[in-house]
């Protein structure tokens, strides 16, 4: 609701500045999480799983293996103000600066939230994966799946070229619920900034960094530039299939950040204050654990 005693040009500036900030740049989280627009506060996400493979028997009727997870958005708020004296002194640039930083902070908050959820990887902190397990776990198993051996996307290996190869190779053996290899393209290394030099050598150095033999680095040029986040533990690194149709994490968005309310309080100093409240509803959840594997926590 916009108060009738708030000058219209301030409301326009607030909305325009806020939206400009929201669209100003891309953020690292967008390579790790996809956005899901919700039509209710809480919804059940249903996935039919992998499609069955062809069989040489027309009498065989195959089925999908349904998966379900519930997601519910949380409320997030930012409120800013500018004094009426500043407005009358033609200093509305102050408002625009504050508003732009508010919009940027919503994106920063989503970015922070995504990497905190990735870093936790357990079922206690931010909820379980669709199979009721920790997102990073050693015994993933789909109910009714066509495979018999539990699958493991949880490792405890310091980042190095050899250990990266171990984790990358293990990820190639992941199977879908029909028992078929997923064959996802694991193309993104995510880590704490303290591991950036090692990560960059793994993804871009044409020669193996851990030997004097000048042998070829087979991963050079096959992966995107590493994504770093200080919200990850200092030894944490992850291998992500970032170019698939879906991302390993889900940003469930019920309401995009927007200007929700503006009002004026004449009792405040400097001629009173114009307040602007921005509001959003969203939360981050785990998607398909096969799209991410933990190298180290």
Q: How confident is the model at residue 144 (pLDDT cuts 50, 70, 90)?
A: confident
Length of the chain: 297
What pLDDT, on the 0 to 100 scale, is given for residue 283? 95
CB atoms within 10 A of CB 113: 21
In a domain, 56, yes or no: no
In a domain, 57, yes or no: no
Q: Which percentage of the chain shows pLDDT scores above 90?
A: 52
CB atoms within 10 A of CB 263: 16
Mean pLDDT of the chain: 86
**In this predicted model, what pLDDT tens digit does every residue of 218-254 receive, in sequence order?**
999 999 999 999 999 999 999 999 999 999 999 999 9
Q: What is the CATH number of the domain that holds 278?
A: 3.90.1690
Query: What is the pLDDT averaged over residues 183-195?
Result: 97
Q: How confident is the model at residue 102 (pLDDT cuts 50, 70, 90)?
A: confident
What is the domain extent for residue 94?
A: 8-51+64-296
User: Would you put residue 223 in left (φ > 0), alpha (ψ -120 to 50) or beta?
Assistant: beta
């508003």: which residue's tokens?
99
81: exposed, middle or buried (C-beta count within 10 Å: 0-12, 13-18, 19+)? middle
CB atoms within 10 A of CB 149: 9
In a domain, 1, yes or no: no
In a domain, 257, yes or no: yes
Q: From the CA atom positions of the chain, what is the Rg in Å?
A: 24
Q: How confident is the model at residue 15 (pLDDT cuts 50, 70, 90)?
A: low
DSSP secondary structure code for residue 30 in this structure: G
pTM score of the predicted model: 0.84
Q: How far apart are CA 123 and CA 47, in angstroms?
A: 20
* DSSP codes joined into one string, 66-119: -EEEEEE-EEEEEEEEEEHHHHHTT-THHHHHHHHHHHHHHHHHHHHHHHHHHH
In a domain, 197, yes or no: yes
Q: Is the pLDDT of residue 33 over 70?
A: yes
What pLDDT, on the 0 to 100 scale, is given for residue 11? 61
In a domain, 230, yes or no: yes
The distance in angstroms from the start CA to the end CA of the chain is 45
In a domain, 2, yes or no: no
In a domain, 180, yes or no: yes
Tell me how many domains the chain contains. 1
């Amino acid at each position: 609701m916009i108060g009738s005693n708030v000058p219209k040009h301030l409301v326009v500036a607030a909305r325009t500045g806020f939206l400009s900030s929201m669209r100003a740049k891309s953020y690292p989280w967008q390579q790790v999480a996809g956005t899901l627009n919700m039509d209710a506060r809480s919804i059940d996400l249903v996935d039919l799983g992998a499609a069955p493979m062809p069989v040489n028997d027309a009498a065989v009727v195959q089925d999908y293996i349904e998966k379900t997870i519930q997601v519910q958005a949380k409320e997030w708020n930012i409120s800013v103000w500018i004094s009426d004296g500043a407005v009358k002194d033609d200093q509305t640039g102050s408002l625009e600066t504050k508003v732009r930083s508010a919009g940027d902070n919503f994106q920063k908050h989503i970015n922070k939230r995504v990497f905190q959820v990735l870093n936790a990887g357990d079922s206690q902190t931010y909820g379980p994966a669709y199979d009721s397990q920790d997102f990073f776990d050693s015994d993933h198993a789909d109910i009714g799946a066509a495979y018999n051996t539990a699958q493991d996307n949880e490792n405890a290996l310091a980042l190095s070229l050899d250990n990266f190869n171990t984790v990358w190779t293990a990820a190639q053996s992941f199977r879908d619920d029909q028992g078929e290899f997923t064959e996802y393209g694991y193309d993104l290394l995510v880590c704490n900034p303290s591991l950036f030099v090692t990560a960059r050598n793994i993804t871009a150095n044409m020669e193996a960094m851990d030997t004097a033999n000048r042998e070829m680095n087979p991963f050079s040029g096959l992966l995107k530039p590493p994504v770093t986040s200080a919200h990850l533990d200092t030894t944490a690194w992850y291998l992500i299939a970032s170019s698939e149709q879906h991302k390993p994490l889900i940003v469930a968005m019920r309401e995009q950040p927007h200007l929700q309310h503006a009002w004026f309080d004449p009792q405040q100093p400097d001629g009173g204050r114009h307040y602007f409240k921005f509001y959003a509803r969203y939360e981050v959840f785990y998607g398909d654990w096969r799209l991410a594997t933990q190298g180290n926590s």
